Structure 1
C-alpha cells in the first residue's frame, strides 16, 4: 500500500505553510496491515525534550522529599504522586507519537501542561500535610489530563484512523478523573484518600491497556486502528530513563561536597557515577543479541509489559539514586537510607532483567559465547545480593556503595564478554593505518624500478584538430 500524502516532515523544521495544521495520523493499522504516512525514522521533537527538562526538577523534588523522611506512609505517597506525573508525560507522548505536526496548538499545549506540572510538582509532596496543597495538586493534575483528553477528542474529528479507540480512551479517562473527586474533601480520611488515589491510578493504567489492546479493536470492530511509531516510542522512554539516572549525578557535584582533594566523599561520588553508568550500559545493552526483536514488535504481551515495567524501574532507581548521591553530602547512612538504597537499586536491577527477557533473541544457537538466559543470569543474582546487603548492619556508607559498584561492574563485564560472538578476540588487528599516498609509495618500491603502479591521474590526450 502506498504511503498516503500528508505533512512533509521537512516542513516541520522551517518555513511552515500553516500556523495551525490539520492533525493527521502518522501511522495506523488498516485491516491488520501497518500503514505509515512517512517512511523516515522520527526522533523526539525539540519541545518534547524541553518538557523533559521540567521533569528533571519534578522527579528530583519527589525523591528529595521522600528521602528526608523514609517511612512506609511516605513510600506510598511517593508512588502515588509519581504515577500521575508519569501519566501526564505518557499522554503527551502518545499524542506526539500519533499526531506530531509541531504547529502552534501543539506547542501551546506543551507550555500549558508544563505550567500545570509546575503547580503539581510544587504541591504534590505536601498533599499529606495541607488540604490546600492536596486540592492544588489534584486540580492541576485533573486539568492536565483533561487537556490531553480534549486534544485527543479534537484530533479524532481531524483523522479517522484512530477515531474509535481515541473516543473510547476519552470516555474512560473522564471516568478515571471522576474517581479523584473525593480527594478535595476534608471529611474524607487520609486512608480513604490513599485508597481512592490508588484505585484511580490503577484504573488509568488498565484503561490505557484496554483502549489500545486487540480486545478493544475487536469490540469496536474497527477497520482502522492505532499503531505506534516504534523508534519514537523507544527514544521517548529512553529519554525518561536518562532523567531518572540524572538523580545519581546531580548531587555528587552540586554543593562541592566531595572537595577538597582525595577523600572518602569523593570516592563515594565516583562510585555513584560508576553505578549510574553501569545502569545506562545495561539498559542500552538490552539482551545483547546480534539479532533481536524489540518487545514493541514481538507481541501484544511483551509490548504492554515493556511499557509498564518502566514506571517501577524509574521509581526504584530514582529513590535509590538519590540516596546514593546524598551519601556524598552526609557522613553515613541511617538504617532507613541503607534499606532504600539497596532495595531501590535491587528492584531496579530486577526490572532491567525483565526488560532484557522481554526482547526476543533471533540468534541461532552457538552464535554468541553463551545463550541469552546465561548471559542475563547476573542481573537477578546481583539484584538479590544488593537487596540483602542491609542485613549486614556493620557496613558503612562507603563499604555499601563499594560492594554495589563492584557487583554492577561485574554484571556489565560478564554480559559484555558473554555477548561476544563465538571465536571472538579481545583485540582487533589494526589495518589501513598509513596514509594512502605512503601505501602507494611502498607498493612502488616493492615492485622494483620500472614496475611502478599505473598512475591514478587520468591520461591526457592531444586535442583533436
Structure 2
C-alpha cells in the first residue's frame, strides 16, 4: 500500500478562502458556457427554480409544518394546533420559516443584537396568543430569568417560617393558619410567573415591577405567624397591594396591546373582584371571618378559570359563547417550557427545604446514633421523592399534560398546590421528629446548642398526623400529576402507569393510618414511612422496565412502544401509495385535539 500525499486546509484560512473562490469561478464559467449553448432555456429554468423555492417557502409557512419546535415536540409531545412566528428581534417578520433558521444564522442574529442598551421602558409584546383554535408563539424557547429564581429564594423563607410555626404546636388552628398563608403566598408566586410569561418587556420597568411585588411578599411574610390574632390587617393589606397592582398591570397592558385588550380587561376585573371580600374580612370577627377568607381564596385561585369557562363554554349558552368568541378573538397563553421550568425550579427548592429541615449539630465524639439514623432515613425519603417527581414520573413521556388537553393542564397545575402544601407540612414535622429523644438510643446530651433545647421527650399526636398526613397527601397528589400526562405504552411492560399509581395510593393510605399506632416512637415512624416510600420507588423502577429485557443488565433487544393515532396504519399506507397528503389537523380532530396550553391565562 503506497502512501498518498494530501493537503491539510484549515477551516477559514486563506487557503480555504482561495479554494472556495476558485470553485465559485469554475461554477460561474460553467454557467456561462451553458447559457451560450442553451440561451433562453437556461434563464427560464432558473426563473422556474426561483419560483418553486418561493412557493415551497410559502407552503411551509401556511401548512402543518409551520412549527420550528422539533426539540420541544420530542420532549413534551406533538401538537397540531401550534404555530410559530418570528420573534420581534428578527429582521424578517413575513415568514415563519426560511433558510436563515440554522444554527449559524441564529448565532449571527445573537451577535448582531449585542451592544443594545437596556431601556427604562419599552412597549410590551405578547409572547404567545390563541387565535381561532391555534396557538401562535415565538420560535425561540423562553428561559427562566435570574430575578424569577430570586423570587423562589424568598419563598423558601415563607416555607420555613410558616411550616415551623405550624409544626411547633401541631393543632387544627395552626394547620388552618398554615393553609391560608401558604395558598396566598402561592398566588403571589403564580402572579409573578404569569406576568413574565405573558409579556416580553425586557426593560428596567419590568425589574421594578418584580421588586414591588417582592416587597409586598416580604411584608406579607413578616406578618404571617400572628395573622389570626394581631397582624391580620397588615397581612391582608400587603396581599391586596400585590393583587390590585397585578390587576392594574393587566389593565395597562390591555390599553397598550389592542390585540388582547378585551381578554386582559377581563383578567383585570376577575383579579380585582375578590378584594371586596378581603377588605370585608378585616371588619368581621372569627369564626365568621373564615367564611369570607375561603370564599375569597377560591375566587383568587379560580379567577382565570372563569375566563376560560366563558371562552370555551360561554356559560353553557350558545349565544353567549358566540359573543365571547367574537369579543375575545385573541387571548394570551403561557409558554410551556417556561411554566414547566419555573415549576420544576420551585419543587427543587421545596425538596431542598426538606433536606435543610433534617440538619442538626452533634456535640458527641462519635455521633452515629438514633438522631443521625433518623436524619439519614429522612434524606433517603426526600431523595426518593425527588427521583419519583423529576425522573420516573416523566419517564417515557409521550405528551405532557399542558399539551394534551386544557382539562389535563388545569389538573396538572391545580394538583401542584396540595402536593407542595402536603410535602412542606410533612417536612416541617419531620424536623421535630428528628430531634425527639423518645427512644432508647437517643443520647439527649449529644445534641449541641439550641438543638439540645428543641429536643422533646415525646412527640405530639398532631405532629404525627402532620407528618404522615402531609406525606400521604404529597404521594397521592404526585400520582395524580403523573396521570395527567400521556405515556408511551410498552407492549411487554411489567406494570403500566395507572396500576403503579394505584399501588402508590394504597401506600399513601397505609402512611396516613400510621399515627393510630401510638406505640411507635419517632425512629420507628420515620423508618416505616421511608421504607414505604422506597417501596413505591422500587415499584416504579421495576414497572417501567420490559419483561422481555433483563432488569439487572443490558440486553441487546430494544423496547418498543405503542401510541394511539386517529388514523389506522392501513389508511395511512393507502394515502402514501396514492400520493395523497396526510392532514395533521384531520388526525388531531380524530384524536380529540391537543393544545399547547389550556386557553386564556393558562
Q: Distance in 2 between matches of 1:52 and 1:415?
A: 30
Q: 324, 332, 355: which is aligned to 1:220?
A: 324
Q: 199, 203, 208: which is aligned to 2:299?
A: 203
Q: TM-score, normalised by structure 1?
A: 0.85
**1:421 aligns to 2:546 (yes or no):** yes
Q: Which moved more, 1:197-206 or 1:100-109?
A: 100-109
Asked if the contact 2:371/2:435 (under 8 Å) is kept, the reply is: yes
- 1:316-335 alignment runs, 5 A limit: 316-332=422-438, 333-335=459-461
Q: Distance in 2 between matches of 1:341 and 1:21?
A: 49
Partner of 1:268: 374
Partner of 1:301: 407
SS of aligned partner of 1:325 = helix
**1:353 aligns to 2:479 (yes or no):** yes
**1:35 aligns to 2:133 (yes or no):** no
Partner of 2:191: 91
Quickly say closer, same or farther: Cα 1:82–1:107, change in 2 above 3 A: same
- 1:57-206 alignment runs, 5 A limit: 57-130=157-230, 133-185=231-283, 188-206=284-302
Q: Distance in 2 between matches of 1:81 and 1:52?
A: 16
Query: Shift in Å at residue 288 of structure 1?
Result: 5.3
Gaps of 5+ in 2: 1-60, 62-83, 91-108, 315-320, 439-458, 557-602
Partner of 2:571: none
The structure having more radius of gyration, on CA atoms, is: 2
Partner of 1:340: 466
SS of aligned partner of 2:498 = helix
Quickly say closer, same or farther: Cα 1:275–1:190, change in 2 above 3 A: same
Partner of 2:396: 290
Q: Distance in 1 between matches of 2:115 and 2:191?
A: 26
Asked if the contact 1:375/1:414 (under 8 Å) is kept, the reply is: yes
Q: Distance in 1 between matches of 2:420 and 2:364?
A: 26
Partner of 2:506: 381
Root-mean-square deviation (CA, aligned residues, Å) is 2.4
Q: Distance in 2 between matches of 1:262 and 1:13?
A: 56
SS of aligned partner of 2:367 = coil
Query: Shift in Å at residue 322 of structure 1?
Result: 1.0
Asked if the contact 1:368/1:420 (under 8 Å) is kept, the reply is: yes
**1:6 aligns to 2:103 (yes or no):** no
Q: 117, 121, 129: which is aligned to 1:20?
A: 121
Query: Shift in Å at residue 242 of structure 1?
Result: 2.1
SS of aligned partner of 1:126 = coil
Partner of 1:369: 494
Q: Distance in 2 between matches of 1:66 and 1:21?
A: 44
Query: Shift in Å at residue 295 of structure 1?
Result: 1.0
Asked if the contact 1:379/1:411 (under 8 Å) is kept, the reply is: yes
**1:281 aligns to 2:377 (yes or no):** no
Asked if the contact 1:173/1:207 (under 8 Å) is kept, the reply is: yes
Quickly say closer, same or farther: Cα 1:108–1:297, change in 2 above 3 A: same
Q: Deviations over 1:355-396 (max 9, x none)?
A: 111112242x51533222223333112101100111111111
Quickly say closer, same or farther: Cα 1:70–1:256, change in 2 above 3 A: same
Asked if the contact 2:419/2:474 (under 8 Å) is kept, the reply is: yes
Q: Deviations over 1:41-79 (max 9, x none)?
A: 223110000111000001111111111122212222211
Q: Which moved more, 1:321-330 or 1:333-342?
A: 321-330
SS of aligned partner of 1:21 = coil
Q: Which moved more, 1:191-200 or 1:246-255?
A: 246-255
Asked if the contact 2:220/2:239 (under 8 Å) is kept, the reply is: yes
Query: Shift in Å at residue 252 of structure 1?
Result: 1.9
Query: Shift in Å at residue 428 of structure 1?
Result: 3.1
Q: Deviations over 1:306-345 (max 9, x none)?
A: 1111111111110001111222223242211111100010
Gaps of 5+ in 1: 431-465
Asked if the contact 1:25/1:99 (under 8 Å) is kept, the reply is: yes
Asked if the contact 1:30/1:225 (under 8 Å) is kept, the reply is: yes
Query: Shift in Å at residue 15 of structure 1?
Result: 3.9
Q: TM-score, normalised by structure 2?
A: 0.67
Query: Shift in Å at residue 260 of structure 1?
Result: 5.0
